[in-house]
Amino acid sequence: RIMNNTDQETVLRALEDARRILGEYTWPGLDASQTVHSLIAVLDRDDVVRALDRMKRRRTLRLVE
């Protein structure tokens, strides 16, 4: 569990993990389905989804104000 991270840090960490996973795609023995599964595991984590939702809500509120 991630403690006391801002939403931006949570999303940034997920993006860094996704970039690493994509970089590993060229490793021998890895196929596209393994890579996609790994990306989903990182990008669809509850903390990442919640952080993105909060970021979108804050952006929408700023646009309305």
Q: Where does residue 6 rank: exposed (0-12), middle (13-18), buried (19+ CB within 10 A)?
A: exposed
Q: Where does residue 42 rank: exposed (0-12), middle (13-18), buried (19+ CB within 10 A)?
A: middle
Q: What pLDDT does residue 35 have?
A: 92
Q: Is residue 2 domain-resident? A: no
| Number of structural domains found in the chain | 1
Q: Is residue 42 domain-resident? A: yes
DSSP 25: T
Q: Is residue 52 domain-resident? A: yes
Q: Is residue 54 domain-resident? A: yes
Asked if pLDDT for residue 2 goes beyond 80, the answer is: no
Separation CA 47–CA 33 (nearest Å): 23
Q: Is residue 1 domain-resident? A: no
Task: Give the range of the structural domain holding residue 26, as residue numbers without chain letter.
Answer: 7-64
Q: What is the pLDDT of residues 6-49, one digit of tens each?
A: 999 999 999 999 999 999 888 788 788 999 999 999 999 999 99
- Specify the pTM: 0.76
The position carrying tokens 């490793």 is 27
